C-alpha cells in the first residue's frame, strides 16, 4: 500500500525551507564575519540561529500557501482515477498563480471525463437495447420464412393450391426484412451522428408534391385520399431535401396505414405561431388515432400502437423514431396530437429562408 504524501508534514515545504535557509544563513554569516570580525564560534552560532529562523519562516510560509492546494489537486486526481466525480463548484482558488491554474484545469478535466463516461454508458445501454430490439424484430419474419419453406419442402410445393400462396407469404416476409434492415441502418447512422444533413435552400411545396405523387398509388390501394392544403409555392426552407422527403414519406405512409377505408390524409404548411421565421409542416389523418398514454412512446424504436396492423402492412416500427432523429439533427421541433377513432396530426418546423430584395 502506497503512503499518502499529503500528511500534515509537507516534504515540499521542508525541501524549499532547507535549501532557502541554508543559502540565506551562509550568506548572512559571511557578511557578519566580514563586517563584524567576530570569533568563529560566534559566527557559527549566528549562522545556526539564522538557519533555524529562516527554515521555520520559509517552511510555514510555503506550507500555508501551497500545501492545501496541493492536497486539493491530489484529491481531484485521485477521484478521477477512481471514477468518482465530486462537485467542485464551491472550490475556493483565490490565487492567480500556476497552481490555481492547474487546479482549475483538473476540475475541467474531471467534468470532461465524467461527461465522457456518461456518454459511453449511454452508448453501451443503447447497444444492448438495440441488439435486443433487433433480435426480437428479426426473429418473427425469419421464423415465418423458415416455416413456409419447410412446409413447401415437405410436399406442399407439389400442391398447386397452396404453393404460390406460401411463396407469396415468404416473399412478404423477405420484403419486411429488407425494409427493416434499411430502417435499422438509417436509424443507427442517425443516432450515432454518422449520417450528416446536407442543408440547402429548398422549395417546400415541390418536396411535398414529389412525396404525395409517389404515394398516391399506395393510398388508392388502401382506399385513402391524399389532399394538399394550399400554401405559397415560393416558400424556401433551409433543410436536407432527402431527409425531409423521408420524414414526409414516413408520416404520410403512417397516415395511410392506420387510416380507415374512405379516409383522408391532408398535408400542408403554415407559419409557425411561436416563431415568425419558421414554417409548420403538418400531416393530418382521419385514422384510428393514438391513446394519450402512448403519445410519448410512439417515437421509441419498434414501438407500435397496433402491432397486428403494423406487421400486416409491413411496418418496421422505426418510422417515427427516424422522423424524430432527423428533426433533432435539423435543430427543429416535432409535435404530435391525436384523438382515438378521430385521427392524428404530426407536424414539424422548418426554418424559412428570408430573401432580401435589392433595390437598384
> What are the structural domains, with CATH classification, of the chain?
11-113 (no CATH), 200-360 (3.30.565.10)
- SS3 string, the chain, reads CCCCCCCCCCHHHHHHHHHHHHHHHHHHHHHHHHHHCCCHHHHHHHHHHHHHHHHHHHHHHHHHHHHHHHHHHHHHHHHHHCCCCCCCCCCCCCCCCHHHHHHHHHHHHHHHHHHHHHHHHHHHHHHHHHHHHHHHHHHHHHHHHHHHHHHHHCCHHHCCCCHHHHHHHHHHHHHHHHHHHHHHHHHHHHHHCCCCCCCEEEEHHHHHHHHHHHHHHHHHHCCCEEEECCCCCCCEEEECHHHHHHHHHHHHHHHHHCCCCCCEEEEEEEECCCCCCEEEEEEEECCCCCCHHHHHHCCCCCCCCCHHHHHHCCCCCCHHHHHHHHHHHHCCCEEEEEECCCEEEEEEEEEECCCCCCCC
Which pLDDT does position 264 carry in this prediction?
Answer: 93
CA gap 29, 212 in Å, rounded: 99
Which pLDDT does position 357 carry in this prediction?
Answer: 43
Give every residue of the chain whose pLDDT is below 70, as ranges: 1-10, 12, 37-38, 87-95, 97, 126-127, 129-130, 132-134, 136-137, 179, 183, 187-195, 301-317, 355-360
Which pLDDT does position 125 carry in this prediction?
Answer: 74
Amino acid at each position: 500500500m502506497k503512503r499518502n504524501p499529503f500528511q500534515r508534514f509537507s516534504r515540499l515545504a521542508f525541501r524549499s525551507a532547507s535549501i532557502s535557509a541554508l543559502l540565506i544563513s551562509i550568506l548572512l554569516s559571511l557578511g557578519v564575519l566580514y563586517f563584524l570580525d567576530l570569533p568563529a564560534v560566534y559566527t557559527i552560532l549566528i549562522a545556526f540561529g539564522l538557519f533555524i529562523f529562516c527554515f521555520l519562516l520559509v517552511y510555514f510560509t510555503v506550507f500555508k500557501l501551497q500545501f492545501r492546494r496541493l492536497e486539493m489537486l491530489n484529491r481531484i486526481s485521485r477521484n478521477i482515477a477512481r471514477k468518482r466525480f465530486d462537485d467542485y463548484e464551491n472550490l475556493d482558488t483565490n490565487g492567480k498563480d500556476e497552481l490555481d491554474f492547474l487546479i482549475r484545469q483538473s476540475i475541467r478535466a474531471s467534468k470532461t471525463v465524467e461527461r465522457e463516461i456518461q456518454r459511453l454508458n449511454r452508448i453501451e445501454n443503447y447497444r444492448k437495447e438495440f441488439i435486443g430490439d433487433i433480435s426480437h424484430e428479426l426473429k418473427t419474419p425469419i421464423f415465418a420464412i423458415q416455416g413456409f419453406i419447410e412446409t413447401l419442402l415437405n410436399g406442399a410445393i407439389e400442391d398447386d393450391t397452396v404453393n404460390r400462396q406460401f411463396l407469396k407469404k415468404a416473399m412478404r416476409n423477405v420484403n419486411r426484412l429488407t425494409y427493416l434492415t434499411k430502417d435499422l441502418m438509417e436509424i443507427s447512422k442517425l443516432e450515432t451522428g454518422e449520417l450528416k444533413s446536407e442543408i440547402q435552400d429548398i422549395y417546400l411545396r415541390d418536396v411535398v408534391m414529389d412525396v404525395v405523387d409517389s404515394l398516391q398509388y399506395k393510398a388508392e390501394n388502401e382506399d385513402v385520399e391524399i389532399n394538399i392544403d394550399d400554401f405559397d409555392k415560393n416558400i424556401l426552407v433551409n433543410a436536407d431535401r432527402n431527409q425531409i422527403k423521408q420524414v414526409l414519406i414516413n408520416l404520410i405512409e403512417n397516415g395511410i396505414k392506420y387510416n380507415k377505408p374512405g379516409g383522408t390524409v391532408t398535408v400542408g404548411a403554415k407559419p409557425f405561431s411561436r416563431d415568425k421565421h419558421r414554417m409548420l409542416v403538418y400531416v393530418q389523418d382521419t385514422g384510428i388515432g393514438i391513446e394519450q398514454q402512448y403519445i410519448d412512446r410512439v417515437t421509441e424504436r419498434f414501438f407500435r400502437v397496433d402491432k397486428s396492423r403494423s406487421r400486416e402492412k409491413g411496418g418496421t416500427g422505426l418510422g417515427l423514431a427516424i422522423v424524430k432523429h432527423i428533426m433533432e439533427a435539423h435543430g427543429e421541433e416535432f409535435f404530435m396530437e391525436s384523438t382515438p377513432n378521430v385521427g392524428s396530426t404530426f407536424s414539424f418546423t422548418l426554418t424559412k429562408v428570408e430573401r432580401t430584395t435589392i433595390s437598384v
